[in-house]
């Protein structure tokens, strides 16, 4: 869902947890998060994603392991081609 500050809220939560990565809206209306951090902190982020910010309606969360990507911090991708 877009328009509920999901990206901004995700960045705040990830930063609080010490997670690096990025979050972006996809053209199909979903939100895509790539995150790197301690397993326990990543699990906390996934649990948070099931609720999201107050106005969000989350229907599904898909988690997939990918090759490690190093990020300097956690960023919001403003424009994407996905």
Contact (CB, 8 A) for 1 and 32: no
Catalytic choice (7, 43, 60, 80): 7
And the tokens for 35? 């995150």
Alpha helices in 18-75 (DSSP H): 39-49
3-state secondary structure of 23: strand
* Whether residue 7 lies in the annotated active site: yes
Q: How far, in Å, CA of 72 to CA of 69, rounded?
A: 10
* Whether residue 78 lies in the annotated active site: no
Residues noted as catalytic: 7, 25
């Amino acid at each position: 869902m877009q328009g509920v500050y999901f990206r901004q809220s995700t960045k705040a939560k990830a930063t609080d947890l010490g997670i690096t990565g990025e979050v972006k809206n996809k053209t199909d209306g979903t939100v895509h998060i790539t995150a790197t951090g301690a397993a326990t902190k990543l699990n906390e982020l996934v649990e948070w994603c099931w609720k999201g910010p107050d106005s969000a309606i989350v229907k599904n969360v898909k988690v997939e392991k990918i090759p490690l990507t190093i990020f300097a911090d956690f960023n919001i991708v403003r424009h994407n081609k996905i």
